[in-house]
Amino acid sequence: MRAAGPARARRRRDREREPLVAIGPARDDGQARLTVVIYLARHGETEWSRNGRHTGRTDLPLTPNGEAEAAALGGRLAGIDFDAVYSSPLERARRTAAIAGFPNPRITPLLREFDYGDYEGKTSAEIHELHPDWQLYRDGCPDGETPAQVYRRAHDFIDLAATSSGLVLAFAHGHIIRAIAVAWMSLDIASAIRFQLDVATVSILAEDQHARGLKLWNAPSAS
């Protein structure tokens, strides 16, 4: 594969700036099915996300850069008529939603981030100094949540979203979004470690006549 030249790189950046196209619920044999398409938006940058620190219960604000990312995220979501919009109760998710143009989301604790317990505020490197083989989605966190608990929350959110039977948008956090994605596809929670997810990105979960899957993953906001 050839390295991208200036023109190719410019075209790639232009595509990243384009608004997303709404993906409607699947149809089968010409009949509309009662199904849901879920857009998952990760919040913009915070001081801890920039430094790689696990941020669960700690209610941090967005950085100025994170607010700019949230505004750009709104550009990608503009023009899509969502049937329901949800948000985590934490400020970084609610603020991202507001800046992106969705000031009144339905708040649900199902979208709160993984409770990291004793690992709150620590980087993965710091945790691995104590527990070299630690994996979040396999081992969970001492005095925090287990992977099974987070997986249950993910399924519960999917059930909640499905009551809308249309386009649903959710503003949430990196590790719970990954859990929702694997729950949607009926994968084991441990497989969530394989899904890279950056701040201020959009992912889309949808269903066709064959199975549930990813229509879009980790798409950057316009910049």
The closest of 110, 122, 121, 125 to 155, measured between CA atoms, is 110
Residue 14 to residues 21, 98, 104, 172, 223, Cα–Cα distance (Å): 15, 25, 30, 26, 10
- Catalytic-labelled residue, pool 43, 54, 173, 175: 43
Length of the chain: 223
Q: Check if the beta carbon of residue 60 is closer than 8 Å to that of residue 91.
A: yes
Structure tokens at 172: 């949430």
173 flagged as catalytic = no
Kind and range of the H or E element at 91?
A: helix 91-99
CB count in 10 Å sphere of residue 57: 14
**Residue listed under structure tokens 């399924």:** 155
Return d(Cα 167, Cα 176) in angstroms, integer.
Answer: 19
- Catalytic-labelled residue, pool 45, 113, 145, 207: 113
Determine how β-strand 212-220 pairs with β-strand 37-42: unpaired
Burial 110-123 (b: 16+ CB within 10 A, else e): bbbbbbbbebbebe
What are the catalytic residues? Answer: 43, 113
